[in-house]
A and B are shown apart, each in its own frame.
Chain A
Amino acid sequence: MQVLVVDNGGQWTHREWRVLRDLGVETSIVPNTTPPGSISADGLVLSGGSPRVGLDEEAMGMCGEYIDQLDIPILGICAGHQCMALRLGGKAAHSATPEFGKTLVSVVDEDDLFKGLPETFVAWESHNDEVTELPPGFTLLANSETCPVQAMKHETRPLYGLQFHPEVEHTDNGYEIFQAFLDVCEARRKG
């Protein structure tokens, strides 16, 4: 199974690659200008990016096209998550209270990604912007005191968005969350 990391210029893009490699899947980092037609992976992680990139479609390269055209599980993280919300009709804007470092995330609906995890856990954040309104057809999975949408999921397509960073060592249950996403990719691959 192959899961690619789309690089939107984040500080932790390479960490996402490392976690996927540690979990035993074939993976590599690809630029976000890679044409969707040349992607034949079983899943995609859209990485975070430098400040404001989630609100700037151009800097997000082909991320919007991947969301529109690829019928594979996609996990958007931070800027990737904000891009997903904007692309599918939700809203994202500057955070009233940005979050940097340790944050307590509360699970609202455990769904696939948070199955068996505690109701609240410590997650590492680094964002100036956030999703302020869910796109149509999405369900809220988690929030925090200062950010209304920490995690979301499309009700019918395998599209997931996380504002926090599961790839960071200091985030609790990060590997479990990635494994849950890989399980979705594996189930879909086997069809």
Chain B
Amino acid sequence: MFDPKKFIDDQVEKTRSEVKGKAIIAASGGVDSTVCAAIVSRALGDQLLAVYVDTGFMRKGETKAVDEMLGRLGVNHMVVDASDEYFAALKGVTDPEAKRKIIGEKFIRVFEREAVKSGAEYLVQGTIAPDWIESGGGLRDTIKSHHNVGGLPSDMKMKLVEPLRDLYKDEVRKVARALGIEVAERQPFPGPALAIRIMGEPTRESVDIVREACAIVEEEIEKAAGEGKMNIPWQYFAVLLPVKSVGVQGDVRAYGYTVAVRAVESVDAMSATYMRIPHDVLESISTRITNRMKDRVNRVVYDITDKPPATIEWE
């Protein structure tokens, strides 16, 4: 069976022997990259700089929370606001693979700029098994290009260091608990962030809608779990659909967008079942979303598809 303590020792040792000089780590504040930061900083100490990129697609309050968490973790870190660049690069882009590749390349360009400033030759990433499996290559079909694998530009110069490549999320969480990482149980969140929870062009306005909807889904589900009505799902979020439908809001005809709510149970993200959420919890989510969004959203649906045939995120 997987032994997290041995894994930590082996990886610290391996990093020490392989990485000679300065490195930066792509830090999102999620469990994978935070575990990676903790392991690599044991090996490299001050030679490691964690770079968090605010793409403009982050969840409500996320950038501030991650900044504080990285501070408590005790690694050198910085926050780069690159949101203008990201919105400009994604103008008019609706294809999910195009979004993922543009976002993947942008990440690398930001890291390259910071690497030049700090003199780092290595880029540490918290890549885990499903990232490279689903990105495909060779005989394996591309299900979706994960930003940190299939989205990497071919001309990138930094040397990649990926200590978690063979692990799945449940194993990463075991390592996180062994390290005492505070985000050990945080739900997975994709690197392209809210940009792939908008079925269509990610604009500041559409990101605002899905950000608020995601916050409502998280709050209501966490509240219900706190009251013992349900367990916390593996992943739970909202997706903004480009489908408009007719409604009636305040005796006035409405013609607004649709939000899909998704919550799944999984162990490793390679297969998943949709979560059996109590109806009163779904109803609270629905009412709060439509009240809050006013005429922009007048319909909420719940996704009841397992993986396969669906994937967890919609894009």
Which A residues fall within an 8 A CB radius of B?
Answer: 7-15, 18, 21-22, 24, 32, 49-51, 53, 59, 100-102, 124, 126, 168-170
Contacts and interface: CB of A to CB of B under 8 A. Distances in A.
Top 10 A-B residue pairs of the complex, sorted by shortest distance between their CB atoms: A9-B139, A100-B309, A50-B141, A101-B306, A9-B140, A169-B267, A100-B308, A170-B271, A126-B308, A168-B271
B264 to A, nearest CB: 11
A10 B140 CA distance: 6
Given A11-B140, A168-B270, A168-B271, A22 B2 contact: yes
B228 interface: no
5 contacts: A11-B134, A11-B141, A32-B139, A50-B139, A101-B309
A56 to B, nearest CB: 11
Interface in B132-160: 133-134, 138-141, 143
Contacts, number: 57
Contacts of A9: 138-141
B309 A11 contact: no
Contacts of A59: 139
A14 B308 CA distance: 17
A24 B2 CA distance: 10
A80 B267 CA distance: 25
Nearest to A18: B168
Contacts of A124: 271, 308
Interface in B117-131: 129
Nearest to B165: A14
A169 B2 contact: no
A53 B1 contact: no
Contacts of B83: none
Contacts of B138: 9
A15 B267 CA distance: 12
Interface centre among A11, A13, A124, A126 (most CB of B within 10 A): A11
A37 B7 CA distance: 33
Contacts of A13: 133, 140
B206 interface: no
A170 B273 contact: yes
Contacts of A32: 139
Contacts of B306: 101-102
Nearest to A59: B139
Contacts of A24: 1
Interface string B239-281: 0000000000000000000000000001110111100000000
A21 B1 CA distance: 7
A121 to B, nearest CB: 15
Nearest to A50: B141
A21 B129 CA distance: 15
A49 B267 CA distance: 22
B307 interface: yes
Given A22-B1, A59-B139, A126-B308, A11 B133 contact: yes
Contacts of A7: 139
Nearest to B166: A14
A50 B272 CA distance: 19
A51 B141 CA distance: 8
Contacts of A14: 129, 133, 166
A149 B308 CA distance: 20
A70 B114 CA distance: 53
Contacts of B268: 15, 169
